[in-house]
Amino acid sequence: MNLQGIDRSVEVVALDGEWEFYPNEFLLPNSETQFQNSSVRLLNVPGNWNTLFPDGNGYGTYRLKVHLPEHWKFPIAIKLFELGTAYRMFVDQKEVAKNGIIGKNKEESKPQALPLIAPISEHSSEIVIIVHVSNFHFREGGLWYPIQLGNISVLHKERETNIHLDMFLLGSILIMGVYHTFLYLIRRKDTSALWFGLFCFDIIFRLVSFNEKYFHSLYPEIPHVLSTRIEYLGYYFAVPLFAQFLYSIFPKLFPRRIVQIIWTICLFFILLVLTTGTEVFTHSAPYFHICTIFSASFYLYVIMKAVINREESAILLLFGTSILVAGTLNDILFSMEYIHTFYIVPQALLIFIFIQSVLLSMRFSRAFIENETLSINLFELSTNLERKVMERTLEYKLEKDKVEQVSKIKDKFISIISHDLRTPMIGVSNLLELLKTKNYVQSDEERERLTQMCYESVQNSLTMIKQLLNFSRIETGVLQLKYKKVSLKKYIYHVLNDSIAYAKSKDIKIDVFINEQLAIDIDPEIFSHVIKNLVSNSIKFTPKNGRIEIQSQEEGDSIQIEIRDNGIGLSSENLADLFNPEKVKSNLGTEGEVGHGMGLFICKFVVDAHKGDLQFFSEKGSGMTCRIVLPGRI
Average pLDDT over residues 321-338: 80
pLDDT at residue 406 above 50? no
What's the Cα-to-Cα distance from 609 to each of 184, 485, 522, rounded to whole Å? Answer: 44, 16, 10
Domain end residue (candidates: 120, 151, 182) = 151
Structural domain contains residue 327: yes
Same domain (yes/no): 30, 16 = yes
Closest residue by Cα to residue 309 from 349, 254, 266? 254
| 492 and 603 inside one domain | yes
Task: Flag whether 376 is in a domain.
Answer: no
What is the total count of domains within the chain?
4
* Least confidently predicted of 185-194, 261-270, 364-373, 537-546: 364-373
Residues 145 and 246 in one domain: no
Question: Is 2 a member of any domain?
Answer: no
Question: 151, 166, 188 — which closes off a domain?
Answer: 151
User: Are residues 104 and 165 located together in one domain of the fold?
Assistant: no
Task: Tell me if 414 is assigned to some domain.
Answer: no
CATH number, residue 624: 3.30.565.10
pLDDT at 120 over 80: yes
Q: Which of the four pLDDT bands, split at 50, 70 and 90, describes residue 475?
A: very low
pLDDT (0 to 100) of residue 472: 53
Residue 75 within a domain: yes
Asked if residue 389 belongs to a domain, the reply is no
484 phi/psi in degrees, rounded to 5:
-155, 135
Regarding whether 454 and 342 lie in a shared domain, the answer is no
pTM > 0.95: yes or no: no
Query: Do residues 305 and 167 both lie within one domain?
Result: yes
pLDDT in tens, 6-51: 888 899 999 999 999 999 999 999 888 888 889 999 999 988 999 8
For residue 106, give its domain range: 12-151
Higher-confidence position of 330 and 299: 299
Question: What local confidence, expressed as pLDDT, does residue 166 receive?
Answer: 78
pLDDT of 464 higher than 60: no
The reply to whether 141 and 187 lie within a common domain is: no
Q: What is the pLDDT of residues 214-229, one digit of tens each?
A: 666 677 778 888 888 8
Q: Examine the domain organization and report whether 177 and 144 are in the same domain.
A: no
Among left, alpha and beta (phi > 0; psi -120 to 50; other), residue 46 is beta
Query: Cα–Cα distances in Å, from 393 out to 386, 389, 400, 426, 464?
Result: 10, 6, 9, 48, 36
Boundary residue ending a domain (101, 131, 151): 151
Verify that 145 and 267 share a domain, yes or no.
no
Task: Examine the domain organization and report whether 200 and 319 are in the same domain.
Answer: yes
Residue 384 lies in a domain: no
Give the DSSP H/E element, type plus range, for residue 127: strand 126-135
The predicted pLDDT at position 471 comes to: 41
Whether 119 and 208 map to the same domain: the answer is no
Residue 27: which CATH number? 2.60.120.260
The single-letter code of the amino acid at 45 is: V
Residue 388 lies in a domain: no
Task: Sheet with 547-555: list strands edge to edge.
Answer: 509-513, 547-555, 558-565, 624-631, 613-618
pLDDT value at residue 105: 93
Give which of 313, 310, 343 is closest to 328, Cα–Cα: 343
Q: Is the same domain home to 133 and 161?
A: no
Least confident of 50-59, 359-368, 446-455: 359-368
